[in-house]
Amino acid sequence: MTTFHYIISGKVQGVGYRFYVGFRLEKLGVKGLVRNLENGDVELFMQGDEEQVFIGEKYIKMGTPWSKVQNIEKEMVEMKEFSKFNIEY
């Protein structure tokens, strides 16, 4: 399965961004992981079909009303398949 890796920067910590994105992606049925990074960015791995990834990226870009996504880096990576979507705290 194709895995996409994202680094999201901007005002994305302390504003419910990780919970919002994790909740939406889990409901969408994708698998993966979202977590905060020490530098203030958020790291996300997403596995799903083409339509799920397309919709999931809309949630990543939108965020919460309190967040402000300034930049998204995206790359395709080789990884084992995730069993579900996890939000790391």
pTM for this entry: 0.95
Q: Which sequence positions are flagged as catalytic? A: 18, 36
List the domains of the chain with CATH numbers: 3-80 (3.30.70.100)
Going by their DSSP bridges, the two strands 31-36 and 85-87 should be labelled as: parallel
**pLDDT at residue number 1:** 75
Question: What is the mean pLDDT of each successive set of 10 residues along the chain, which is 89 residues long?
Answer: 94 97 97 98 97 97 97 96 94
